[in-house]
Each structure stands twice: as structure tokens, then as C-alpha cells.
Amino acid sequence: MAVVNRRAAAAIATAVAVVAAATGIVILGGALALGPRVLDEDLYAGALVRADAYERLYTEVLADPELAETAERLAGGLDLGRVDPGQARILVTNSLRLVLPPDHLQAGTERVLAALLAYLRGDTPRLDADFDLSAALADVERTAVTQVRAALARVPTRPAASAAELRAGLDEAARELREGRLPAAIPVPAGAVGGDDVIAALRDVVGGDLPPDLEVTVRTLLDAGAGADASAAALAPLVGGHAAEQVAQLRRDLEDGRELDLTAEVAERAGTTPRRVVERLDWVRDAVGRYRTLAVAAGAALLASGFAAIAALHRRRATRALALIAAATVLGGIALFGVWLAVRHTVDPPLAAATGTGAGSWDLPAGTRAVVRDVEAQVADDLESLAARVARLVALAGLLVAAAVVAVRSDRRRVRAVAVAAGAAALVLAVLAAADLRRPPPRACNGHPALCDRRYDEVVQFATHNSMSSPDVVQVWPEQDGTITEQLDAGVRALLIDAHYWPDLLSAQQLAAADPAVPAAVAERVAAVDRERLRGREGVFMCHNLCAWGGRPLVDGLGDVREFLDANPNEVVTIVLQDEVEPADAVAAFRDAGLEPYAYRHDHEGEWPTLGEMIDRGERLVVFAENSGPPPGWYASAFDVIADTPFGFAEPEDMSCAPNRGPADAPLFLMNHWLTRAAPDRKAAALVNTREAVVERARRCAAERGRLPNLVAVDFFTIGDVRGAVDVLNGLRD
């Protein structure tokens, strides 16, 4: 009986020791693996990216009716009530991307996250959760003018048959714009009303002479028959005063005129005070500090005492002790994952108040709740994956010990061989599991995690036609409403750029002769405003047809691309260069801009790499030249590998998918998607840049040509929803 009692006591003691060791493993695993990860900003930064939170800020959060006023004020406070609600939302969204670009938004959010988590870890003594809006506020006025130009493309026109009628219509339109509203109609000259009448009326309305470049633009548009765009060009800046008032009010609302106090915003939504929020964070900070120290000490004590007790109880049978230690280790790994699952499915998540709608929930708009809920789910999934990897590593370590025990104890050759093989397999898997713990968090490629594993030729990209033709470069007939940097910030990933020399022209007559599409009167006006335009310059310039209409050194524009690539390490950009210059001069501009290290070395024999592979290799710039090709290897001949559609369509119904340049079996497909009028026309862009129009034509071209377009090139990228259309074509949204 005594022997039985001793055996029972030993068995109980052994069981207690095994459970103690397993419990120690669970506590240590939580403290050493899960604990630090919970306070690691990469966890939350990755979750925000995977939940597409930065894009959804524009499309869901700021589009929510409860936040409409904030979004409108950031976009200049323009009343878009006379535009279709869906188009109004898109206009505001596009404006917000200009004033607060996604990469700036992401950088600011990550700074706030880093500051908050550093405070909770105890690394810093003071909480600084302010979001700096100074750069955005400085850009609101200019962005509002851009938004007005785009919005006016959807405002109906009203013919004015007399100078008096024209003046009255322009007066009314100007008054409404100064008050931050879109006019009911844009008056356009009709009958005997001529260009001089329009200029005179506009001078009276704006209260003085038009700036020389603007007057040239207005007269040029009038000559081209684009009376509505001429009036819009002159009237749009009038909204600047209203936008400045919105900025001033925003500055008054902010703590110091430039920073958003996120602590105060959370407190207001939670129905409490900022002090109470900070006190709650202080409690978390203190708890984290105590938990980390106590948990490591308790876990280590339990693990050590459990293993020591097993060794002592079975000191005469070392292999049995090792087998029990192995069992405790496997049990600890399994229990670690089981405890995580139990906690996840039984304990309310930390942000339950932000995602719920019942009593005690924060008063957050529906769009915000949805984004927070998805981010929280991504965080939980990441932690669950980490718990599973740690548990797998611990369990494999136990199995490795168990295999070693079997191999030593067995006197049968076959059993030993199996045990050795199992131990080797467990060792390999343990090494892999350990390496897996160090893997970087999932990333987004060109804004979306789903695109990382797609080949370059399987991705649809948002492209701009004549990307360099922005108002800061081309004062006469620009074809975009933002700079190359603003295009990239807004989601454009392919730039169609023209490169020319700037020849010496002796007269306005030579200017008109050099570009027959431009009326002689326009050439005379351009030359009268700025004779320097006619003077030739050394180097290679970005300009359309003739640099006299406006140009910029190619190396400067390429420098903007390099700065974007430097600041955005997970983005792949494409340049299609209409190279009306010697190849050596174009290549030198890329080198001088510092882009050559980023350039993708084309391999025409193999298949295209994935975006993720291109990012890993650092080859994040794909260059095509329309008129020449390699060498060097990264300077590819465009229409050896690209097939495109025709261009020069006058009306939407004319837009065909017929073959144009490039071989029929080319791996890449460019859809030229703009209308050609006498002058670049925002009203035309408003017709074809809608999400529906882009998706419909792209799918029609896919049916005819056997593939979706890889590049969708448009004029006036701020008009319509080309980015949304590209996301649909990539299968990223409905």
C-alpha cells in the first residue's frame, strides 16, 4: 500500500510539474513574443495597409455624411449642390487626395502610432498624438481652385447673345463662386458677341486686368470655340477667397493653428475629457510595464521549477525525465495557442467601444466604425498568426526532444531510424518556424497587398496622357490639372511624357508655322506676352509639340519621379517617353536625375516579374521609349512590347478598341482614353473619365483584344474616377 501511495504521489507530482512547465511556456510565450508585438507600430501600420484604410479614408470615412463638413472644408468649402451627388463625392475625394495625399496621410498616421506606442512602452515621458496638418492647410486654396475647374466642367452653359447679357451672367457666376457655390450656368458668347467682349466683361467681373498668361489662355480657348472653359479659367480663382476663409476657420479650430489633437478628438467622441483619456493610457502604460517584468519572472520561475521537479522526480531514469520534459514542451505549445484562441473569442476586443453601436459605444460615423473594425480584425489575425508560429516552434522543439529520447531508448534498429528521421524533420521545421517569426509584416504594392504577387503584365495602371502638361509648365492648353508629383500622390502610376529640344524661333510667324494646329492669332498673343518663349534653350525639355507653349527641363521632371520613389519604397512607376530627342540625351537625363539605379532591366525572353519581385530587387521604374530603344537595357522600345488603341477621338461613341501601334501579341496593352477637341477640354474629360465609362470601354477592349489594358491613359486626372475604375479592373473593389 505504501508503494502504491508513493507511486500515486510521484505521478501527481510529475503531473503538477508538467503543468507548471507548460504554464511557464504559455506565460513566457505571451510576454516575450506576443507582448512586444502588441506594442510594435509595425503591427498596426501593416494592419492599416491590409485593411486599405488610407484609401478608405477618402472613399468611406470622409465621404460619410457625418464628416461631410470636415471633408468639404479641407477641400476648400465649396458647395457642390448643383453637381450629381455621386460626382460631387468623387470631386471632393480627388481634391482631398491633392491636399492630403495618401503617402502623407500614411506618414502622419505612422508618426502618431509610433509616438503613442513609445509612450505606452515607457520609452517617452510625454504623449504627443498631434497630427500635423500644416502642409495640407497651406494647399487648400490652390486645391480648391483646381476642384472648381473640374466641377465647372459639369455645370451647364447658357448662350449670351449680347455683351450686356454676357456681363450679367458672368457677374452672377462670379458672385456665387466668391460665396463658395457653383453657379447654375456658365455664360458663353453667342451671336455677335466676340472675344474682346468676353475679355472686357471678365476684366470688369474680376476687378482689373487678367494676368497676361491667363488672358492668353482665355483668348486661345475662345479662338478654339471653348467658351465655357475660357470663362471657367478666368472665374475659378475667385473661389480662392472663400477657401482662405475655410482655412482660417480650420486654423482657429485647431489647437495651435496647424495640428489636430487626436486625444481631444477621441475624448469628444467617447463623451469624456482628454485628461480621462490620458489617465486611461497611463493605466495601460503602467500595466504594460508591470506585466512585462512580472510575466517574464513568473513564467521563467514556473518553467524552471517544472523542469527541475521532473528531473528530480526521475533522476534515476534520465530518458523518462527527458520524455516528460518533451511532453511538457509540446503541451505548452498547444496550450499557448489554445489560450490565445480562448482570449480572442471570449474577451471583448480593445476597440469594441469604437466599433459597436450600443450603450457605451463611441459616437463614430458608420464609415469610420467599419474601417476601425477591419483594422482591428487585421491586428487580431496578425497576433493569431504569431501565436500559431510561436506555438508551432515550441511544440516542434518538444517533438525533437521526444524523437531523440526514442532514438536513444529503443533497441530496435527500425524504430531508431524512424525516430532519427522524425527528429531531423522536426529540427528542419523548427528552424523554419524560427525564421518565420522574423519575417517582415505583409506589405502593399502600388497601394494594395493583392498586387504584390501579380506579374507586371497582369496589373492595370492609372496613367496620364501628356503628364508634363500641367498649369505650372504649360500655360496655354494644359492637359492635366496637377504636377507630376501630384499625379503620383493621387495614385497615377504610369506617366506618358514628351521630350523635345527647345528650338530658336525668330518670330510669332515662325511659331505659328512650326505648329499648324495653332491659329496665327494665338502665336501672336503668346509672343507678345513673353518673347523669351521664342528664344531657344540648351538641353532636353518636357513639353508638348513646341516648348514655346511651355516647357520644363526633363531632368527636373524625372527628379520629381525619383523623389517619389525614394519616399515610397513599395511603389512601381512606369514612364512611356515620346522621345523626340537623341537617345543619348534622354538616357543622360535619367542618369542625371538619379533614376538609373531604380530602372528595370528588361528581359524580353522571360516572363515579367511580379510587382513584389521588382520591389525586392529595387527595380521599381519601368521605362519605354516610343522612337528608340536599348542600349541601355532598361531603355526599352515601347512598341516592341506595347500594343495600343487609336487616339484622336472627337466623341465618346467614337472610341474604338481597334489595333493601332505595336504587335498584336504584345505583352502589354495601352488604352488611350481621351477626347481630342480644338483645345484640351475638361467637359470632354468629364464625359469619359467616369468609373463606368472607363470600365465599360476597358472590358469591351478586353473582349476584342483578348486582354484588359495594362495602362489606362487619360487627360485631366482630377476629373472623374479613373482610380476607382482601375481598382475595379484589378478586382480590388466592386
102 contacts 55 by C-beta, under 8 angstroms: yes
367 contacts 64 by C-beta, under 8 angstroms: yes
Mean pLDDT of 25-38: 83
Q: pLDDT at residue 657 above 80? A: yes
Among 135, 145, 220, 156, residue whose Cα is nearest residue 525: 220
Report how far residue 108's alpha carbon sits from residue 181's, in angstroms, rounded to the nearest whole number: 31
> H-type helices in 85-189, by residue range?
85-99, 102-121, 134-152, 163-178
Query: Phi/psi at 554 (nearest 5 deg)?
Result: -60, -40
Q: pLDDT at residue 288 above 80? A: no
CA distances to 171, 484, 590, 637 from 555, in Å: 44, 13, 7, 20
Using 50, 70 and 90 to split pLDDT, how confident is the model at 704?
A: very high
pLDDT at residue 530, rounded to an integer:
67
Handedness of CA 576, 581, 587, 592 (dihedral sign): negative
pLDDT at residue 496, rounded to an integer:
97
Could you report the per-residue pLDDT of 314-355, keeping only the tens digit for each? Answer: 887 778 888 888 888 888 888 988 888 888 888 777 777 777
Residue 453: other Cβ atoms inside 10 A: 12
pLDDT at residue 433, rounded to an integer:
56
pLDDT at residue 662, rounded to an integer:
94
579 contacts 468 by C-beta, under 8 angstroms: no
Mean pLDDT of 374-397: 85
Could you report the per-residue pLDDT of 528-552, keeping only the tens digit for each? Answer: 766 777 787 899 999 987 888 789 9
139 contacts 99 by C-beta, under 8 angstroms: yes
Could you report the per-residue pLDDT of 716-727, keeping only the tens digit for each? Answer: 999 999 999 999
pLDDT at residue 691, rounded to an integer:
93
pLDDT at residue 696, rounded to an integer:
97
Asked if residue 631 has a cis previous peptide bond (ω within 30° of 0), the answer is yes
pLDDT at residue 257, rounded to an integer:
66
Among 465, 432, 506, residue whose Cα is nearest residue 714: 465
709 sits in the region (left: phi over 0; alpha: psi -120 to 50; else beta) called: beta
pLDDT at residue 438, rounded to an integer:
58
Handedness of CA 96, 98, 100, 103 (dihedral sign): positive
Among 474, 562, 464, residue whose Cα is nearest residue 518: 474
Mean pLDDT of 384-389: 85
pLDDT at residue 409, rounded to an integer:
63
Going from the N-terminus, what domains does the chain have, and what CATH number goes with each? 2-29+297-437 (no CATH), 42-147+248-270 (no CATH), 156-243 (no CATH), 449-729 (3.20.20.190)
Lowest-pLDDT range of 389-393, 633-637, 704-708, 728-732: 389-393
Residue 700: other Cβ atoms inside 10 A: 13
Average pLDDT, the chain: 84
DSSP string, 574-640: EEEEEE-S-HHHHHHHHHHTT-GGGB----SSSPPPBHHHHHHHT--EEEEESS--PSSTTEEEHHH
Mean pLDDT of 645-670: 94
Q: pLDDT at residue 194 above 60? A: yes
Work out whether strand 537-542 and strand 494-502 pair parallel, antiparallel, or are unpaired: antiparallel
pLDDT at residue 423, rounded to an integer:
53
483 contacts 635 by C-beta, under 8 angstroms: no
**Rounded to 10 degrees, what is the CA torsion of 211, 215, 218, 219?**
180
Mean pLDDT of 600-607: 86
Using 50, 70 and 90 to split pLDDT, how confident is the model at 477?
A: confident
Q: In the chain, what percentage of residues exceed pLDDT 70?
A: 89
Using 50, 70 and 90 to split pLDDT, how confident is the model at 480?
A: very high
Q: pLDDT at residue 594 above 80? A: yes
Cell numbers placing 158: 447658357
Q: Which residue has the higher pLDDT, 502 or 52?
A: 502
pLDDT at residue 260, rounded to an integer:
64
239 contacts 145 by C-beta, under 8 angstroms: yes
How many separate helices (H) and strands (E) can be counted in the chain?
29, 14
Residue 288: other Cβ atoms inside 10 A: 16
DSSP string, 419-457: HHHHHHHHHHHHHHHHHHHTPPPP--BTTBGGGTTSBGG
Q: In the chain, what percentage of residues exceed pLDDT 90?
A: 31
Mean pLDDT of 420-448: 64
Query: Phi/psi at 157 (nearest 5 deg)?
Result: -100, 160
Report the range out of 90-99, 363-372, 431-440, 601-610 with the highest average pLDDT.
Answer: 601-610
Mean pLDDT of 610-617: 96
**Rounded to 10 degrees, what is the CA torsion of 367, 370, 375, 378?**
-150
pLDDT at residue 414, rounded to an integer:
57
Cell numbers placing 346: 471570449
Lowest-pLDDT range of 365-379, 652-666, 715-729: 365-379
pLDDT at residue 578, rounded to an integer:
95
